[in-house]
Amino acid sequence: FYQREAGQQHTPPHALFFALVDIDHFKRINDTYGHKAGDDVLQQFAAVLGGLIRSGDYAVRWGGEEFLLVLRPMPCEHVATLGERLCGSIARHPFV
């Protein structure tokens, strides 16, 4: 991507986006409701992340309650908006 775009005269700067997403207070979920409930939350969280990214982007479980996002290059000015959208969508999701 970067080699192809480097020769373009009017292409705005783009960034490949990596993010490590961690579920806050996840241990409390397992301790309070059990590991089955924790697994359910992880599956729901993965589904929410998958619905927020484009095809060709990746959301993978990194370990424990952490997920790694690898998103195709996008205009640099969109990165902050994407982060806000991810956090807002996850915060509003009614986890069962």
Active site residues: 65
| Phi, psi (deg, nearest 5) at residue 74 | -145, 160
Extract the runs of DSSP E, i.e. beta strands, from 1-96: 14-22, 58-63, 66-75
Lateral strand order in the sheet of 58-63: 14-22, 66-75, 58-63
